[in-house]
Amino acid sequence: MPTLKPKIPGIYLNQIVPTPESELLTGVPVFFGLAKAAQKDPKKLTFGTQFDQYFSQVEGYLRDAVKGFFANGGRLCYVIALENNTLEALQQALEASEVLENTDLVCVPDIMLASEAEIIQKQRAVLEHCERMGDRLAILDALNDVEKLDGQRQALSSQNGALYAPWLKIENRDEPIPPCGHVAGIYASSDRTVGVHSAPANIPLVGVLDLSFSLTPKQQEQLNPQNGAGVNCIRSLPGREIRVWGVRTLSPLAEWQYVNVRRLFLTFGRWVNQNLADTVFEPNAFPLWVRIKRELNVYCEFLWRQGALQGAVPQEAFYVKCDEETNPPENREMGQVVAEVGLAATIPGEFIQLLLVQSDSGITLSET
């Protein structure tokens, strides 16, 4: 800190720059794929060129997916090598990834090396992992066959997953590759420039020469029914390059239909666990309720000012309730503190309610 040397008597102020709080990272995927690694622990990559320092004998799409992530704006990812392409190996790797606190995306491009039935089975395992973790969204690859997309869409159901088609043609590769890595880079770039509330779409893909097949507007409409899960199509638009042209999840529920809305709430839950974890063992009484309400209000107003929430004033954008009504005597006897939060996400237009429950086992966030 610079010290000012006064030349005449008086009062002088030193400028003190506060240490910023640790930032909640978003747009950070964990990649799983077939490769050989000296150690089984997750590898942290901040440049695409680091991949070959840790991994060899890459049999599938992993290297190209990671390269596509960094080419499209990604800055940080983790990679876990799979010893083989079995469901058991994938489940073990997913479990090993649970120690990673910064990740909020999951990509498994080498699932697409399996048979169609195995692909669906493994993608369901990935979706179950994301549901259980409650802080991650899976970027899944569609089958490389336009006639099978609707069947795959109907076979998968999750509010924490999104499906992308078609595959991508890139340099130095004879056959097309699954799009998840490139799409994850779009997520990271969109998060950095706007925020998780921004739809990761209508952004040109870098390093893509062509698509494995083209989808017409009518086909895209059929793959994205008004109510239900959708397939996010990648389109080659005249004069506008190749772009992600969809932002739908695999959820049948209208309130979780959009990737950006779902990720906003996943990020909200991550923020709560990071910033309110130290309240777990405080007395369940009025001072604790005031603190929780104050901190949640501050974060919600930050989201509103960032443009993540609707409303001309904060009262139209969110509400936070943590008092005797949300914490009756029976809750207190169980050691639980409950806060109710309503957020008016940009899409859809109504409040989506959450219950924040604090107990001696931690903090959980559930939709009401």
pLDDT at 21: 42
pLDDT recorded at residue 8: 39
| Average pLDDT along the chain | 88
In a domain, 97, yes or no: yes
Q: What value does the mean pLDDT take over residues 294-308?
A: 95
pLDDT at 362: 64
What is the average pLDDT across 281-310? 92
Q: How confident is the model at residue 137 (pLDDT cuts 50, 70, 90)?
A: very high
The answer as to whether 63 is a domain residue is yes
Q: In terms of residue numbers, what domain contains 72?
A: 29-253
Q: What is the pLDDT of residue 366?
A: 65
What's the order of all strands across the beta sheet hosting 137-141?
43-45, 77-82, 29-34, 105-107, 137-141, 161-165, 231-237, 241-244
> In this structure, are residues 95 and 101 in contact, taking their beta carbons and an 8 Å threshold?
no
How much helix, strand and coil, in percent to the nearest 5, is found in the chain? 35, 20, 40
Q: Are residues 244 and 282 in the same domain?
A: no
Residue 5, in any domain of the structure: no
Whether 12 is covered by a domain: the verdict is no
Residue whose C-alpha is closest to residue 113's, from 164, 157, 62: 62
Residue 197 DSSP code: T
Surface-to-core class of residue 257, CB atoms within 10 Å of its CB (0-12 exposed, 13-18 middle, 19+ buried): buried
What's the pLDDT band for 340 if we cut at 50, 70, 90? Answer: very high
Predicted pLDDT of residue 284: 83
Percent of the chain clearing pLDDT 90 (strictly above):
73
Q: Is the pLDDT of residue 152 over 90?
A: yes
User: Model pTM?
Assistant: 0.88
Helices 259-275 and 286-306, interaxial angle, to 10°?
140
- H/E segment holding residue 166: none
On whether both 294 and 221 belong to a single domain, the answer is no
Confidence tier at 277 by pLDDT (50, 70, 90): confident
On the question of pLDDT at 45 being above 80, the answer is yes
Which one has a higher pLDDT value, 15 or 81? Answer: 81
Establish if 9 belongs to a structural domain: no
User: Sorting pLDDT into bands at 50, 70 and 90, what band is 363?
Assistant: low
Considering the domain architecture, whether residues 297 and 223 belong to the same structural domain is answered as: no
Residue 207 sits in the same domain as residue 147:
yes
In a domain, 353, yes or no: yes
Verify that 47 and 159 share a domain, yes or no: yes
Quickly state the pLDDT bin for 348 (edges 50, 70, 90).
very low
Lowest mean pLDDT among 143-157, 182-196, 213-227, 249-263: 213-227
**Cα gap 271→23, rounded to integer Å:** 10
* pLDDT for position 192: 95
Reply yes or no on whether the pLDDT at 11 is more than 60: no
Determine contact, residues 141/119, Cβ cutoff 8 Å: no
Residue-level pLDDT at 290: 94
Residues 178 and 316 in one domain: no
Identify whether residues 72 and 191 lie together within a single domain.
yes
Specify whether 180 is located in the same domain as 309: no
Mean pLDDT of 184-202: 95
Residue 276 or residue 205, greater confidence: 205
Domain count, the chain: 2
Query: In this predicted structure, what is the pLDDT of residue 201?
Result: 93
Structure confidence by residue, pLDDT tens digits, 54-111: 999 998 999 999 999 999 999 999 999 998 999 999 999 999 999 998 999 999 999 9
The pLDDT of residue 7: 41
- The answer to whether the beta carbons of residues 245 and 233 sit under 8 Å apart is yes
Confidence grade of residue 226 (pLDDT, cut at 50, 70, 90): confident
Task: Assess whether 280 and 247 both reside in one domain.
Answer: no
- Are 224 and 300 in the same domain? no
Helix (H, G, I), strand (E, B) or coil at 45: strand
Phi, psi of 118 (to 5 degrees): -70, -35
Confidence band, pLDDT 50/70/90 cuts, at residue 359: low
Residue 178, domain CATH? 3.40.50.11780
The answer to whether residues 258 and 133 touch, using CB atoms and an 8 Å cutoff, is no
| Region of poorest pLDDT, from 152-166, 174-188, 203-217, 323-337 | 323-337
Q: Assess if residue 8 is contained within a domain.
A: no
Q: Tell me what the mean pLDDT of segment 105-130 comes to.
A: 98
pLDDT at position 265 is 94
Considering the domain architecture, whether residues 176 and 306 belong to the same structural domain is answered as no
pLDDT at residue 16, as a whole number: 34
Q: Kindly indicate the confidence band of residue 354, based on its pLDDT and cuts at 50, 70 and 90.
A: low
**Whether residue 288 sits in one domain with residue 232:** no
